[in-house]
Amino acid sequence: MEDYLERLKKGSLKLYALESELPPDDAVRVRRTFIERETGADLSATGSFTIPIDRAATKNCENMIGTVQVPVGVAGPLLVKGEYAHGSFYIPLATTEGALVASVNRGCGAITRAGGADTRIFRDGMTRAPVFAARDITHAREICDWVASHRDEITAAAESTTSHGKLTGIMTAVGGTSVFVRLEFDTKDAMGMNMVTIASAEAAGVISAATGARLIALSGNFCTDKKPAAVNMVMGRGRTVAAGIFLPDALIRVVFKTDARTLAEVNMRKNLVGSARAGSFGFNAQAANIIAALFIACGQDPAHVVEGSLAVTTVDPVEGGVYVSVTLPSLPSGTVGGGTGIATQHECLALLGVAGGGSPPGTHAKKFAEIIACAVLAGELSLLGALGAQHLARAHQQLGR
């Protein structure tokens, strides 16, 4: 080890090059030791982990020195009645926020006692939107017209790069001499960002060659990836999924210590009016909390919580209670690729019965999305109930400090 540490110190060996000379385990250990000596920090806890790192150090994380371990709790059982997810599930939640798992657990209990939540997928498509430069607005219109009339040619080019992805939609948008082509793909069980990026590059080459449009960036922010955006709220990105349940008056009183009218008013004044007044793209109580915890536990890209939190929660007064629903317009998620292959994350996916690819392809990712929607619904119910009963501060005082 000392020889490698000396070469790192002298600069004749770069940190990123250790894997080219050493097995991943040894490379991570040498790198961590070097950083400890350079900074004086004790990284012994960071260096204590159980996951096999052959893949993690070469596919998921560059310059790896160890892991940061996040506590994982389970909420449930949660009774789900979806097209792809049907049955009781224990929900793995990776979080350091005290009271979160307890809150979701209470919502799961209410949903299960009420007979289970219905959930459905409404749209499925991952997007990438290259931006091209046109000579002038006349040329911009010509580019848009060409894209509209040559869909088959663009589709053939895009799908030539993947054995799974299918191009399902193309739209254009113009801002002066900037032309955005938003390409939407069915990515089966993958979240699909790598897949659609590679496919979009091939499609962009065809568009550029045929129209004279100058490709500026493969992602022009009209996708929109990892940023709050109205286009995702309106058109969807990833999976668009909703979950809903009828809660009778008696159950609301017993579980949430409040009543149907109060639940509806809290949702209207907080989630709808409050969010509108704030200019928020999310009209919900805590969707990001549940999505983040599930994403971290299940190997999703945590940055996509930005899109996932574009959720709308509604509470409709009905005879004998309320019908509560949550709609997630933009949920980028998958069960293969990315962090899903890391051992601990793979176990959490297996806990939900969605690890790896489904049969037929795409069914696991859809099942996972339906479970996520119902878990978000559980979190929304619990927080709305706590607010309605004026219990929020007490819960955090007991569990979150």
Mean pLDDT in the chain?
A: 96
How far apart, in whole angstroms, are the C-alpha atoms of residue 138 and residue 127?
A: 26
Residue 394 has pLDDT above 70, yes or no: no
Backbone φ, ψ for residue 192 (5° rounding): 95, 10
How far apart, in whole angstroms, are the C-alpha atoms of residue 118 and residue 48?
A: 42
pLDDT at 207: 98
CA triple 195-189-244, angle to 5 deg: 125
Give the position of tokens 């971290």. 296
pLDDT at 1: 87
Element (H, E) at 120: strand 117-128
Mean pLDDT of 26-49: 97
Is 72-123+239-399's fold the same as 130-217's?
A: no
The answer to whether domain 130-217 has CATH 3.30.70.420 is yes
What pTM, to 2 d.p., does this model score?
Answer: 0.95
Catalytic residues: 97, 301, 396
Residue 353 has pLDDT above 60, yes or no: yes
pLDDT at 395: 53
71: preceding bond cis by omega (within 30 degrees)? no
The tokens for 311 are: 């959720």
pLDDT at 398: 60
CB 308 within 8 A of CB 323: no
Burial of 16 by CB count in 10 Å (0-12 exposed, 13-18 middle, 19+ buried)? exposed
pLDDT at 85: 98
Looking at this protein, which amino acid is placed at residue 114?
A: A
Instruction: Please report, for the chain, the start and end positions of each structural domain, with discontinuous segments joined by +.
Output: 16-69, 72-123+239-399, 130-217
**What CATH number labels 72-123+239-399?**
3.90.770.10
Mean pLDDT of 58-75: 96
Residue 397 has pLDDT above 60, yes or no: no
- Cα(first)–Cα(last) distance of the chain, in Å? 43
